Structure 1
């Protein structure tokens, strides 16, 4: 992996300019690599997401040199007009309890979260990667991997521009950040591990007076109002996040550990839940600003190995969504940084075998970083898929604020491993004794 030559167009190709791809491109460029960042759409573009950013996500955003102060656009000179809205913590609703939990005060993470629509958040990160040297090519729909004479991934094929002109891009390493569909990984035989968790989520934007809520809101129970004043419990878990622009992002998700996972109309389920919420909140058809959109949530490293044959998988393409809370952005950005580090290390090695060892080290780095935590998350998903367990947890757990603060730290993966409190020490200890999920 020497500097680009007639054989290669770049040191590394990054496919997909979502948070994981932009983070990978940013860190690869900082390491001195020449980077091609290929994005099939044109910015600004939307993505299905809750738009909520926990302190773990905020840490990754700040690490990329992006301004998250209130009122800031995030990046000078980028021409992006959106603003951040800050939140204090998580409001949990269920079992007749309404509990507001502030984000913990930690050395390792900020004490605030953010909300920002993906329609400009993703562009913000991509422009930041450009600022440090990555070359972004939009309207570049990657169609598959290229292989060298040894059958190793050495680039991609793509259709580029409005005319969808066929083109090839070559590099000694390719980082796949192409989302849940993971076309590149599938082409290399990397498929979903059905023993590991999977979810589905849908969301819709509504004009609402709750648009400036300073807590992310999580509903552990979804109730449908029936004629005669009766109510019926629906499957799944909901959220309401104020976006700060006059709208709320409202959605729900369900895990494959639920018996209802395969047999639901998720858009209808969202409507049935929202019809039972207070009318003054505005979550009605006339206030909707767009269609209901949904997508899969690949969790707990349910795609592996994360490195194989010249190809590194990042974010959703690696099944890296947190099984505890469905958060994907933080883990996309963190795995993107790990992938960039592996490619940068490989570039310095003198032999093909040494370079391959450095790239293959990405599998171990992923397991070390998140493997034990995701193993615990897999156990958690199976437990809450049992309605009886969930009812007991909601009834007896929610009224206990100390316990719920512990649960918040665990679900959001927010601890100080070295200098934290007793809760941090317990969570760190649990991960140390839990075997890691590995590729």
Structure 2
């Protein structure tokens, strides 16, 4: 994979979301020439809950991203769970592996900040550059670059297609990942698929100022009803209220099905469900149409390694392009950041190998490391989704499980993926043990 004289970079990264910018940062920090291609221009919006778990905060710390409050970050203490007419405030676990707090920041500014950080590390960013196809070696079929089309401010083609060459290309182009699809790496239909919809509300209202925008707890509502006439059905998913500290609050809901086919069969109108839910919130929260900022937007959540292989013939998949969203909670930022770090390490190490076979074997370690760390956890998540698809099981969990402190401790660590992988208390050991004994497929 050693860069040749005709190459434009040592590595090309397609997509400048958290996974792509993490990859670019770590590769550039290792001394590699990095070309980061983004089809939009910053700042740009992204459908997300905007919440960062302690695991994600830990990755930002590794990257050296400044997260001071005066720079637009807000910390949160833990998770407030609302269900069955009650609420519980659960502090983030105090463990060695991750910080004891989460954060929140809108993706409009988060992604821009991470792209700037990658640039400061030495990566070259090209915005309004749409990758249209992989470039393949005619003899071996190996990925050796990309074809890219410059775009104007409206996203229309603007200029001639350009070829960029590099011995390694990283696909970080999101849930659809046209780059991976063009290589024949398609999505699996036996993995969970989630849907998230969200909007924003100002907390400065006609009736005064609410404090929802500076709530120190990320709030999760575990009971979502489909709004059907008569007896409504309990949906597998949750609603969220995440304070952003800037006078606005991210309000949304996510639902998950064990397979894409089951989600399609459900046929739920999630935008209408969100409208119904916020309409029934207390007036003092200010979640009313006159305070809404922007429309309700939705996105698919690819879960549990729903696309693979993670590495093949010079192309690595990171973040949503590889389906690295947790089936437990819809969290994807932490895993995208982690994947960028692990991918960059494999790429940098491969450059030091003296033969093609050794370099290829080193690049393959990226997939092995990601599956070793997340494969068992994602398998547990798939089983979890299969259970909560049954309304009677969901009702039993809410009624009999949540009121028990020991159950809540277990649920918080499992659902947030904030447990000690080695050592810790008995809850950590149980979860870590389960992730090791289940298939990591």
Q: Per-residue displacement from partner, 1:382-402 (whole Å, max 9, x unpaired)? A: 111111111100101111122
Separation of aligned partners in 2, 1:18 and 1:382:
30
Give the structure 1 partner of residue 206 of structure 2. Answer: none
Instruction: Give 1:69's aligned residue.
Output: 68
**CA distance in 2 between partners of 1:326 and 1:61 (Å):** 19
Q: Give 1:277's match in structure 2, choosing from 267, 270, 281.
A: 281
Is 1:92 matched with 2:81?
Answer: yes
Post-superposition shift, 1:308? 1.1
Query: 2:152 matched to 1:151?
Result: no
Question: Counterpart of 2:187 in 1: which secondary structure?
Answer: coil
Distance 1:181 1:400 in 2: 40
Q: Which residue of 1 aligns with 2:376?
A: 372
- Measured at CA, do residues 49 and 407 of structure 1 come closer, stay the same or move farther in structure 2, by a change above 3 Å? same
Q: Match for residue 249 of structure 2? A: 248
Q: Mark the CA change 1:226 to 1:387 in structure 2 (over 3 Å): closer, same or farther.
A: closer
Q: Distance in 1 between matches of 2:372 and 2:422?
A: 17
Query: Is contact 2:350-2:363 (8 Å) kept?
Result: yes
**1:79 paired residue number:** none
**Normalising by structure 2, what TM-score?**
0.93
The question of 1:167 aligning with 2:169 is answered: no
Question: How far is 1:24 from its partner?
Answer: 0.4
Counterpart among 306, 313, 320 of residue 316 in structure 1: 320
User: So what's the TM-score if we normalise by structure 1?
Assistant: 0.93
Q: Deviations over 1:75-111 (max 9, x none)?
A: xxxxxxxx01111000001122211100011111101
Distance 1:336 1:237, change over 3 A: same
**C-alpha displacement of 1:17:** 0.6
Greater alpha carbon shift after TM alignment, 154-163 vs 319-328: 154-163
- Unaligned regions of 5+ residues in structure 2, if any? 153-157, 204-209
Match of 1:433 in 2: 437
After the TM superposition, which residues 16-415 of structure 1 pair with which residues of structure 2 at under 5 Å, given as runs?
A: 16-71=15-70, 73=71, 83-149=72-138, 150-162=140-152, 163-208=158-203, 209=210, 210-223=212-225, 232-233=232-233, 235=235, 236-257=237-258, 262=265, 263-415=267-419
Distance 1:268 1:234, change over 3 A: farther
Offset of residue 242 of structure 1: 1.0
Q: Distance in 2 between matches of 1:184 and 1:201?
A: 23
SS at match of 1:40: coil
Q: Check conservation: 1:223, 1:231, Cα contact below 8 A.
A: no
**Cα 1:225/1:188, change in 2 over 3 Å:** closer
The answer on whether the counterparts of 1:304 and 1:318 sit within 8 Å (CA) in structure 2 is yes
Compared CA separation, residues 355 and 192, structure 1 to 2 (3 A)? same
Map of 1:11 onto structure 2: 10
Contact 1:223 1:276 in 2 (8 A): no
Cα distance, 1:361 vs. partner?
Answer: 2.1
Deviation at 1:212, TM superposition (A): 1.0
CA–CA distance in structure 1, aligned partners of residues 312 and 399 of structure 2: 46
Indicate if the aligned counterparts of 1:225 and 1:275 stay in contact, CA closer than 8 A.
no
- Give the C-alpha shift of residue 339 in structure 1: 1.1
- Can you give the 5+ residue segments of structure 1 that lack an aligned partner in the other structure? 74-82
Q: Please state how far the C-alpha of 1:257 moved relative to its aligned partner.
A: 3.3
RMSD over aligned Cα, in angstroms? 1.7
SS at match of 2:67: coil
CA distance in 1 between counterparts of 2:201 and 2:233 reads 23
Change (3 A) 1:225 1:284: farther
Structure 1's 224 and 144: CA in aligned 2 closer, same or farther, altered over 3 A?
closer
* Deviation, structure 1 residue 222: 2.3
CA drift of 1:332 comes to 0.4
Give the 4+ runs in structure 1 shifted more than 6 A.
224-227
Q: Does 1:422 align with 2:417?
A: no
Offset of residue 278 of structure 1 = 1.0
Retained in 1: the 8 A contact 2:191–2:258? no
- Separation (CA, whole Å) in 2 of partners of 1:271 and 1:433: 42
Q: How far apart, in 1, do the equivalents of 2:201 and 2:47 lie? A: 15
CA gap of 1:225–1:256, structure 2 versus 1, over 3 A, is closer
- How many Å apart are 1:297 and its aligned residue? 0.3
